[in-house]
Amino acid sequence: MSENNSSDIGAFLAGFVIGGLVGAATALILAPQSGEETRAQITAKGQEIRRIGEERVNEYREMAGQAVDDARSRVQDTTSQVQERARIVLDEGKSKVNEAIEKGKDRVAQIKGDVSDETTPAA
């Protein structure tokens, strides 16, 4: 998912820069003004494009940070839920094992009693 977002951002920025360059070139060709005026205009346009690009990068960086925070929060919630479910399953398993142990002890005691009764001489 992050690769898709980064390629979208890269494509947008590339298109933005290329569009700015094409616009600047068109202005140079069609503008009936002196070289000094043209250079000043190109400089101003370049600074504007750079400012807009930096703003967009900051916006996308902030959006990416929010997406990471949201994902981290969801992972933590899911981890907590899984841990709680595992604890419940383990508690149930312990309970069943303890029951089986108690039944086994009772059965062993019963068998010992039966064996004792059989081996005790009759009076």
Which pTM does this prediction carry?
Answer: 0.45
Residue pLDDT tens, the chain, 123 long: 456 666 777 788 888 888 888 887 787 777 676 778 878 888 898 899 899 989 999 999 999 999 999 999 999 999 999 999 999 999 999 999 999 999 989 888 888 877 776 766 655
Domain locations in the chain? 2-119
40: closest CA among 22, 17, 31? 31
